[in-house]
C-alpha cells in the first residue's frame, strides 16, 4: 500500500513509519517538524537523543534498503495538504499530525487556541483533500481514550446502545474530555464521523491509551533510528516520567489520590494496532472506533510497579497537589476487544519491560534535567506562569 504517515517525525509517527516500511509498504512521512519546536519552546529535550528526520530516513535506507519519502509542510495549509494527497496518491493515511499534549493545550489562551485550530483545521483540510481527490482513501486517525472522560458506566468503543423511556438507539458514546487537547480530539472525531456519513469517506478512529516505552524492532536497529522518550511536565507521560524519577533518585510524584486509572499500551502495540487497522480497512462510508490500549493501571499501581522493578531504592511521594482537575478515584472499565479480535497480541507491562526503560534512562541520565519534571501548568488557572520561549504567550494581548 501507499501510505502517508502524518506526524511521521514524532514519538509514535516515526516508529509507525518504520514498521510499515519494514512490512513493504510505500511510506511518505509528512511533518512540519513542530514537535522539535515545542522542545525548544519548553527548554527541554528527549532523554534519548533523536536524529534529524533526513538522517533518520537516510539511515533507514542503509539499514533496510527501503526508501521513506518525506514532505515537510503544515496540514493547516490547505494547498500543501491537497498537494500531498494528490501527488502521493495514497491508499491510506495514518494521521498522528496533531499537537498531542494536554498540559501544552492548557498553558494559556494562545496554546488552547493553537491546539484546537491546528488539530481541527488540519483534519478538516485532510478530509476535504480526501473527498476531492479519492474518497476511497482509508483515514486512520489517532484519537485518545481521554475523549471519553471517566464516567460511572463502562466505556464502549465509540458507540453505545441506549434504551431511554420506551425506545432504543445506538448513539455516539458521550464524551467528557479533560483538556483543550482532548476536546480537540473529540471535535475531530465528530467532524470525521459526519464526513463519513455525508461524503461516504472511510475512517478508523483509534482512541489510544497512554503509550510507554521507546523500543520497537525497527527503532532498535540503529541509534539513529531511535524515537523520543519524553519525561518533562508538559510532554512526558506518567510511566516514562516515573522511570526517569527512579533513575535520578527522586521520589515518584503521584498527583492527587493516585486512583486515576488509565488504559495503557506498549509502543510496540501502537505500531501493531495501526497496522491491523490498515490491513483490515473500514468499509466505504464507515466510521469505526477502536479503543487502542491493552491494560489499565492506576497511577498508584504504576508507581508501585516502577518501585518494584528498580534495583535502586525508590520513594513514592503520594498525595501531591494535582495540577489537573480530574477524578482521582473512579470507576474505569473500558472495552478494547476490537483490535484483539483483529489479532493483536499485546505486549504486557511487567518488571522486565520497566527494567528495560530504566536501563535506557540510565544510559542517557546526563541528558535529564530534573527541574523539567515538575508540573508547570495548572488546570484551575486559565493562564500558566510557565515561562516559555514563545513570546506570543506573554500577557501583552491583555493590554488593549
180: how many CB neighbours lie within 10 A of its CB?
21
Asked whether position 383 contacts a copy of itself by CB under 8 A, the answer is yes
Cell of 398: 491583555
Cell of 157: 468503543
Q: Which stretch binds a copy of itself (CB under 8 A): 154-162, 247-255, 270-278, 365-373?
A: 154-162
State the catalytic residue, choosing from 76, 144, 204, 376. Answer: 144
Asked whether position 253 contacts a copy of itself by CB under 8 A, the answer is no
Asked whether position 391 contacts a copy of itself by CB under 8 A, the answer is no
Asked whether position 287 contacts a copy of itself by CB under 8 A, the answer is no
376 annotated active-site:
no
Cell of 147: 475523549
Asked whether position 217 contacts a copy of itself by CB under 8 A, the answer is no
Q: Which residues are CB-neighbours of 88 under 8 A, at least 6 positions away?
A: 2, 4, 28, 69, 71
Q: Which residues are CB-neighbours of 113 under 8 A, at least 6 positions away?
A: none
Q: Which stretch binds a copy of itself (CB under 8 A): 213-221, 222-230, 240-248, 375-383?
A: 375-383
Q: Which stretch binds a copy of itself (CB under 8 A): 189-197, 238-246, 257-265, 353-361?
A: 189-197
Asked whether position 153 contacts a copy of itself by CB under 8 A, the answer is yes
Cα–Cα distance measured from residue 358 to residue 239, given in angstroms and rounded to the nearest whole number: 11
**89, 194, 217, 385: which one binds a copy of itself (CB under 8 A):** 194
68, 361, 38, 252 alpha-carbon torsion, rounded to 10°: 140
Asked whether position 238 contacts a copy of itself by CB under 8 A, the answer is no
State the catalytic residue, choosing from 11, 28, 185, 204. Answer: 185
123 annotated active-site:
no
Q: What minimum distance in Å lies between the beta carbon of 201 and a copy of itself? A: 10
CA distances for 154 relative to 43, 148, 150, 265, 268, angstroms: 40, 10, 9, 19, 26
Q: What minimum distance in Å lies between the beta carbon of 238 and a copy of itself? A: 20
311 annotated active-site:
no
**49, 331, 337, 341: which one binds a copy of itself (CB under 8 A):** 331
Q: What minimum distance in Å lies between the beta carbon of 187 and a copy of itself? A: 4
Q: Are 370 and 250 in contact (CB under 8 A)?
A: yes
**128, 251, 356, 362: which one binds a copy of itself (CB under 8 A):** 128
Cα–Cα distance measured from residue 247 to residue 362, given in angstroms and rounded to the nearest whole number: 6
Cα–Cα distance measured from residue 206 to residue 137, given in angstroms and rounded to the nearest whole number: 16
**24, 167, 313, 321: which one binds a copy of itself (CB under 8 A):** 167
* Helix 299-309 with 238-247: angle, nearest 10 deg: 40
Nearest by Cα to 4 from 100, 77, 114, 86 = 86
Nearest by Cα to 85 from 137, 36, 46 = 137
Q: Which stretch binds a copy of itself (CB under 8 A): 9-17, 194-202, 236-244, 283-291?
A: 194-202
Cα–Cα distance measured from residue 259 to residue 318, given in angstroms and rounded to the nearest whole number: 11
**132, 220, 341, 359: which one binds a copy of itself (CB under 8 A):** 132
Q: Taking the mean position of all CA atoms in its chain, how far away is CA 284? A: 26
Helix (H) or strand (E) holding 58: helix 53-64
Asked whether position 329 contacts a copy of itself by CB under 8 A, the answer is no
- Which residues between 83 and 112 bind a copy of itself (CB under 8 A)? 83, 86, 108-109, 112
3-state DSSP assignment of residue 244 = helix
**24, 65, 165, 313: which one binds a copy of itself (CB under 8 A):** 165
State the catalytic residue, choosing from 181, 212, 231, 255. Answer: 181
Note the helical H segments in 134-251. Answer: 180-199, 238-247
- Fill in the DSSP letter of residue 326: -
3, 6, 11, 16 alpha-carbon torsion, rounded to 10°: -10
Give me the residue label for grid cell 493483536.
344
**2, 66, 70, 151: which one binds a copy of itself (CB under 8 A):** 151
**164, 321, 366, 391: which one binds a copy of itself (CB under 8 A):** 164
Asked whether position 152 contacts a copy of itself by CB under 8 A, the answer is yes
319: how many CB neighbours lie within 10 A of its CB?
11
Q: Which stretch binds a copy of itself (CB under 8 A): 41-49, 126-134, 229-237, 290-298?
A: 126-134
Interacting residue ranges for a copy of itself, rule: CB under 8 A: 78-80, 82-83, 86, 108-109, 112-113, 116-117, 120-121, 124-125, 128, 131-132, 151-154, 156, 160, 162-165, 167-169, 171-180, 183, 186-187, 190-191, 194, 197-199, 325, 331, 379-380, 382-383, 397-398, 400
Residues annotated as catalytic are 144, 181, 185
Amino acid at each position: 500500500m501507499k501510505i502517508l504517515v502524518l506526524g511521521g517525525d514524532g514519538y509514535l509517527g516515526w516508529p509507525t513509519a518504520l514498521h510499515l516500511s519494514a512490512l513493504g509498504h510505500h511510506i511518505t512521512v509528512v511533518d512540519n517538524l513542530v514537535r522539535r519546536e515545542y522542545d525548544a519552546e519548553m527548554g527541554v529535550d528527549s532523554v534519548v537523543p533523536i536524529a534529524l528526520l533526513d538522517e533518520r530516513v537516510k539511515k533507514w535506507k542503509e539499514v533496510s534498503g527501503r526508501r521513506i519519502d518525506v514532505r515537510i509542510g503544515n496540514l493547516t495549509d490547505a494547498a500543501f495538504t491537497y498537494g500531498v494527497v494528490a501527488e502521493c496518491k495514497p491508499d491510506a493515511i495514518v494521521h498522528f499530525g496533531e499537537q498531542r499534549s494536554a498540559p501544552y493545550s492548557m498553558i494559556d489562551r494562545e496554546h488552547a487556541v493553537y491546539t484546537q485550530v491546528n488539530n481541527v483545521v488540519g483534519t478538516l483540510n485532510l478530509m476535504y483533500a480526501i473527498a476531492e481527490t479519492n474518497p476511497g482513501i482509508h483515514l486512520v486517525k489517532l484519537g485518545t481514550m481521554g475523549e471519553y472522560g471517566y464516567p460511572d458506566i463502562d466505556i464502549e468503543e465509540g458507540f453505545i446502545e441506549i434504551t431511554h423511556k420506551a425506545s432504543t438507539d445506538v448513539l455516539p458514546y458521550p464524551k467528557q474530555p479533560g483538556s483543550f487537547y482532548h476536546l480537540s480530539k473529540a471535535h475531530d472525531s465528530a467532524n470525521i464521523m459526519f464526513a463519513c456519513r455525508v461524503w461516504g469517506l472511510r475512517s478508523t478512529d483509534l482512541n489510544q491509551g497512554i503509550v510507554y516505552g521507546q523500543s520497537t524492532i525497527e527503532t532498535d536497529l540503529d541509534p539513529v533510528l531511535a524515537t523520543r522518550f519524553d519525561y518533562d511536565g508538559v510532554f512526558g507521560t506518567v510511566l516514562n516520567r516515573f522511570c526517569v524519577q527512579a533513575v535520578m533518585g527522586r521520589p515518584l510524584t503521584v498527583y492527587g489520590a493516585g486512583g486515576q486509572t488509565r488504559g495503557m499500551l506498549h509502543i510496540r502495540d501502537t505500531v501493531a494496532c495501526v497496522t491491523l487497522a490498515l490491513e483490515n480497512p473500514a468499509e466505504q462510508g464507515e466510521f469505526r472506533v477502536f479503543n487502542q490500549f491493552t491494560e489499565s493501571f492506576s497511577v498508584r499501581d504504576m508507581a508501585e510497579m516502577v518501585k518494584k522493578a528498580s534495583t535502586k531504592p525508590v520513594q513514592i511521594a503520594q498525595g501531591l497537589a494535582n495540577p489537573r482537575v480530574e477524578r482521582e478515584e473512579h470507576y474505569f472499565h473500558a472495552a478494547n476487544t476490537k483490535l484483539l479480535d483483529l489479532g493483536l497480541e499485546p505486549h504486557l507491562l511487567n518488571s522486565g519491560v520497566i527494567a528495560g526503560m530504566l536501563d535506557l534512562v540510565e544510559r542517557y541520565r546526563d541528558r535529564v534535567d530534573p527541574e523539567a519534571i515538575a508540573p508547570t501548568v495548572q488546570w484551575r488557572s486559565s493562564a500558566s506562569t510557565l515561562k516559555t520561549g514563545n513570546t506570543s504567550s506573554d500577557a501583552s494581548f491583555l493590554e488593549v
